[in-house]
A = this chain, B = another copy of it.
Amino acid sequence: MTEILNRQYYLASRPKGEPNSENIPSRDVPLAALNAGEVRMRNLFISLDPAIRGWMSDEPNYIEPIALGDAVRASVIGRVVESNSENFAVGDVAMTMGGWEAYTTLPAEALNKLDESMGIPLSNFLGVLGPTGLTAYFGLMEIGQPKAGETVLVSAAAGAVGSVVGQIAKMQGCRVVGMAGTDEKCAWLTEDLGFDAAINYKTCGDFSKAIGEVCRDGVDVYFDNVGGEILDAALSCMNKFGRVAVCGWISSYNAEELPHLKNLWQLVAESITIRGFVVLDFLDRFPEGVGQLVEWLVAGKLQFKEEIVDGLDNVLPVFMKLFDGSNQGKLVLRLPED
């Protein structure tokens, strides 16, 4: 019997700024025999999310940093190839927190079985029906608390989270303005997703002025995916009792210095609430959220984009697309099934 090797991309050293192949090299590790209760999956999809960059640092975070020497942590969907649990049969498909690796082996309790018979493409469970869709849903509805007629501003609006935020906000009767980094993305927001306006932040010039011109009645809810200068500009445009939902700061994950927020003073002047969150804060309400998202998806009310790139060995350059704005929608790495 040939020894099967598990290719892994692991954290050799903590990156300063952008992670490179010295920080994240690959290795081939022989698969160990399964322990009692364990299940082994051959991974089909690996979710690439900005939060992973945060886990590479050893600063306090909402979950433990990735330990040096461990495979980089990521949500994965795989097909069971070997099982020591009566709850999983070879051929089942499941989702779990795995790694940048070909095979993920875990106790059965850590795996969530997915029902292929629903006919929903499996990768959707990593995005619009998974962490990113739930991030959009809970962040907007619980923290943003949008009311009909209010103006909702979304940064990284063409991304996996932002695009869902905007569509849900439209369903609540809000005026929705998105910020994105190319004219194509902006056109997608207004022409396909029904956003009322879009701002190309790479060409608009002064952010405060650009937001102020499009949001004539001010901003009531700002869904912040980026932090930094755009957050600062949004603060300058917020209405009294405005709400800012901060779900991750892509622009800062790779910055060794956080930018200075000149307009934080607005917090007091306009009685603004800024609340940070991660989707795990709403763990006990995931069934409610997934149920609502599936309902909207099946009703055709929720459009989304996935960018699926093939090949485990492309993981690092593909991951970096999240930080230069070159991805469109939820970024997923696909691994061959054989």
B269 touches A61 (CB 8 A): yes
Chain A's interface size range is 20 to 34
Question: Could you tell me the distance between the alpha carbons of A266 and B61 in the complex, rounded to whole angstroms?
Answer: 8
Copies of the polypeptide in the assembly:
2
Encoded as 1 (CB less than 8 Å from any B CB) or 0, chain A from 239 to 258 comes to: 01100001111001000001
Determine if A275 and B272 form an interchain contact, defined as CB atoms under 8 angstroms apart.
yes
Say whether A265 contacts B249, CB under 8 Å.
yes
Q: Which of A166-174, A201-209, A276-284 contacts B (4 or more CB under 8 A)?
A: A276-284
- A288 part of interface (Cβ distance < 8 Å): no
A309 within 8 A of B: no
CB distance from A148 to the nearest CB of B (A): 22
Which residues does chain B contribute within 8 Å of A275, judged by CB atoms?
267, 271-274
Contact B248 A268 (CB under 8 A): yes
**In the complex, what distance in Å separates the CA atom of A269 from the CA atom of B270?**
25
Q: Which of A61, A241, A271, A281 has the most chain B CB within a 10 Å cutoff?
A: A271
Can you name the residue of chain B whose Cβ is closest to the Cβ of A278? B271
Q: Does A90 lie at the interface of the complex (its beta carbon under 8 Å from any beta carbon of B)?
A: no
> When the two chains form their complex, are residues B268 and A258 in contact, meaning their CB atoms are under 8 A apart?
no
Q: In the assembled complex, how far is the CB of residue A113 from the closest CB belonging to chain B, in whole angstroms?
A: 29
A274 lies within 8 A of B273 (CB): yes
Q: Is the CB of B268 within 8 A of A249?
A: yes
Q: How far is the CA of A249 from the CA of B267 in the complex (A)?
A: 10
**Contact pick for A62, options B61, B62, B248, B269, CB 8 Å:** B269
A262 at interface, CB cutoff 8 A: yes
When the two chains form their complex, are residues B276 and A270 in contact, meaning their CB atoms are under 8 A apart? yes
Instruction: Assess whether A260 is interfacial by the CB under 8 Å rule.
Output: yes
Q: Does any Cβ of B come within 8 Å of A59's Cβ?
A: yes
Complex Cα–Cα for A273 and B265 (A) = 16
Is A110 an interface position by the 8 A CB rule?
no
Question: Among the listed B54, B261, B269, which residue makes an inter-chain contact with A261, where contact means beta carbons less than 8 Å apart?
Answer: B261
Residues of chain B with a CB closer than 8 A to A240's CB? 62
Instruction: Report if A287 contacts B (CB, 8 A).
Output: no
**A264 sits at the interface (CB 8 A):** yes
Judge if A119 is at the interface, Cβ distance under 8 Å.
Answer: no
Is A60 among interface residues, defined by CB-CB distance under 8 A?
yes
Chain B residues with CB below 8 A from A241, complex form: 281
Contact (Cβ within 8 A) A268 B261: no
Question: Nearest residue in B to A244 (C-beta to C-beta)?
Answer: B274
Shortest distance between the CB of A296 and any CB in chain B (Å) = 25
Q: Collect the chain B residues with CB atoms within 8 Å of residue A54's CB.
A: 269
**Chain A to chain B contacts (Cβ below 8 Å), 17 pairs:** A59-B265, A60-B266, A60-B269, A62-B240, A62-B269, A246-B267, A252-B265, A258-B260, A258-B264, A258-B265, A261-B264, A266-B276, A267-B275, A267-B276, A268-B278, A271-B275, A273-B273
Residue positions of A touching B, CB distance < 8 A: 54, 59-62, 240-241, 246-249, 252, 258, 260-262, 264-278, 281
